[in-house]
């Protein structure tokens, strides 16, 4: 069977060879396999140095201090620690949280759990078609008892970029803790946690060509005393997240983030050409609409809904040729239409005929050209009608 063209980098990325090499060096007896918490011998010291270096590499990408990086198992845990960690400060108090309707399920499900505990949550509706969440919407939603704002930097389905800097300024003005899910932003756009007034920022390794099962939560030093621990047992990570550190995964994430920082601008330029080529070609095939903002976005994603006479045929053929998604990976087993596309104003039918293409390091112009050529052939093939005679 021929392999599908991989166009699902938003779901996960392959680990780069140079990252794999560093990961492997932390596994065997002749490598750096020690427990970073073991401070009585050089095996632990060597591992701890590698962890500290990786922590600095993560901090460099987001312009933070290394002491503000807390290791987790991934962005989902980071999101949970951020929201629940702040909310836990307010037992038996009716407090207010602001988020949006198009957040990742790790945010939406956590907010739903907090609602059951008595928290009030405002889910901002995105701008139709573009998916923008504006600073004006956030400002209008702020209440005297608002304690937390949580919004993603780059939407994981449509690639739209939120004006995090302006919203961060609002949060600072009102002394509200500001959390940002940056799992899809790291390595794609410049991130400066100080300039954007971000207090908490979630990151993932496997979205940036690092290993799965590792992530980080940036916690501003001033906020660290306010964040309540969710996983206890040993006091690791400044007491905010206990558990033996996975040196190999941490080193892999650090190496991947360092590489991402080096290639950020050039890679975005390269992917912009691929995205434009595919978008222009799709418009020649059938009626198709763009999901997401045409300018305020990253270049890695192209989400479209086919609305013409060939909508069903094209979406099925694309899935036979390429590894793509109709929504985020966490929802791929759910037959319901994407909550993001519905929030943008797409009908259930249009959402069912939608494709998220996401590009990455191994995507080439030849891949795009082959996909388009095959779709053109598919549309020109005569359709066979079968008749049943009695």
Kindly indicate the confidence band of residue 329, based on its pLDDT and cuts at 50, 70 and 90: low
The predicted pLDDT at position 242 comes to: 93
Mean pLDDT of the 18-28 span: 97
Domains annotated on the chain, with CATH:
5-11+264-380 (3.90.1150.10), 17-259 (3.40.640.10)
Which helix H or strand E contains 67, and what residues bound it? none
Is residue 346's pLDDT more than 50?
yes
292 Rama class: left (phi>0) / alpha (psi -120 to 50) / beta: left
Start-to-end Cα distance in the chain: 39
Short-list 191, 211, 210, CA closest to 202: 191
**CA–CA separation, 292 vs 129, rounded Å?**
6
Mean pLDDT of the 282-309 span: 96
The predicted pLDDT at position 386 comes to: 44
Residue 248 Cα distances to 112, 213, 217, 380, angstroms: 34, 11, 18, 51
Is residue 144's pLDDT more than 90?
yes
Tokens for 164, please give them: 């995090």
Which entry of 111, 196, 228, 330 is annotated as an active-site residue? Answer: 330
Report strand pairing: 322-323 vs 177-181.
Answer: unpaired
**CA–CA separation, 325 vs 96, rounded Å?**
34
The predicted pLDDT at position 2 comes to: 72
**CA–CA separation, 228 vs 84, rounded Å?**
8
Short-list 292, 312, 234, 240, CA closest to 72: 240
The predicted pLDDT at position 334 comes to: 58
Helices within the chain (DSSP H only): 17-24, 42-62, 75-87, 105-116, 135-141, 164-173, 247-285, 311-321, 339-343, 348-352, 365-380
Tokens for 65, please give them: 């201090």
Kindly indicate the confidence band of residue 381, based on its pLDDT and cuts at 50, 70 and 90: confident
Tokens for 268, please give them: 């975005």
Quick: pLDDT tens for 304-327. Answer: 999 999 999 999 999 999 999 986
Tell me, yes or no, if 330 is annotated catalytic. Answer: yes
- Inter-helix orientation angle 247-285/42-62, to 10°: 30
Mean pLDDT of the 77-91 span: 95
Kindly indicate the confidence band of residue 340, based on its pLDDT and cuts at 50, 70 and 90: very high
Short-list 162, 148, 141, CA closest to 89: 148
Residue 348 Cα distances to 51, 133, 188, angstroms: 46, 22, 30
User: Is the overall model pTM greater than 0.75, yes or no?
Assistant: yes
**CA–CA separation, 215 vs 335, rounded Å?**
28
Quick: pLDDT tens for 29-82. Answer: 999 999 999 999 999 999 999 999 999 999 999 999 999 999 999 999 999 999
The predicted pLDDT at position 333 comes to: 57
**CA–CA separation, 194 vs 198, rounded Å?**
6
**CA–CA separation, 103 vs 232, rounded Å?**
28
Q: Output helix, strand, coil percentages for the chain, rounded to the nearest 5.
A: 40, 15, 45
């Amino acid at each position: 069977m021929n392999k599908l063209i991989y166009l699902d980098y938003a779901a996960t990325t392959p680990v780069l060879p140079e990252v794999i090499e560093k990961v492997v060096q932390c596994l065997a007896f002749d490598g750096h396999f020690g427990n970073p918490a073991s401070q009585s011998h050089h095996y632990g010291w060597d591992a701890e140095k590698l962890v500290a270096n990786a922590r600095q590499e993560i901090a460099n990408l987001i312009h933070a201090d290394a002491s503000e990086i807390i290791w987790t198992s991934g962005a989902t845990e980071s999101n949970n620690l951020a929201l629940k960690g702040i909310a836990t400060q307010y037992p038996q108090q009716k407090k207010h949280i602001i988020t949006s309707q198009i957040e990742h399920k790790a945010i939406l499900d956590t907010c739903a759990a907090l609602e059951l505990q008595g928290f009030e949550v405002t889910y901002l509706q995105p701008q139709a078609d573009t998916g923008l969440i504006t600073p004006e919407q956030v400002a209008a939603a702020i209440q005297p008892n608002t304690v937390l704002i949580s919004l993603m930097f780059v939407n994981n389905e449509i690639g739209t970029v939120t004006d995090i800097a302006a919203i961060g300024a609002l949060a600072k003005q009102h002394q509200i803790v500001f959390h940002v899910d940056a799992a899809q932003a790291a390595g794609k756009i410049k991130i400066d946690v100080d300039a954007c007034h971000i207090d908490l920022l979630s990151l993932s390794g496997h979205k940036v060509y690092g290993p799965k099962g590792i992530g980080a939560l940036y916690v501003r030093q001033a906020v660290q005393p306010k964040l309540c621990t969710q996983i206890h047992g040993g006091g690791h990570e400044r007491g905010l997240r206990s558990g033996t550190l996975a040196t190999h995964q941490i080193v892999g994430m650090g190496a991947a983030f360092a590489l991402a920082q080096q290639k950020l601008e050039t890679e975005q330029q390269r992917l912009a050409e691929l995205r434009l080529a595919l978008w222009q070609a799709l418009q020649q095939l059938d009626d198709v609409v763009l999901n997401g903002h045409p300018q305020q976005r990253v270049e890695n994603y192209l989400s479209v809904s086919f609305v013409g006479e060939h909508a069903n045929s094209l979406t099925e053929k694309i899935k036979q040729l390429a590894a793509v998604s109709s929504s985020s990976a966490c929802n791929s087993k759910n037959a319901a239409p994407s909550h993001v596309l519905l929030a943008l104003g797409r009908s259930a039918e249009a959402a069912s005929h939608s494709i998220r293409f996401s590009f990455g390091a191994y995507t080439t112009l030849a891949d795009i050209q082959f996909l388009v050529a095959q779709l053109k052939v598919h549309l020109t093939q005569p359709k066979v009608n079968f008749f049943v005679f009695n």
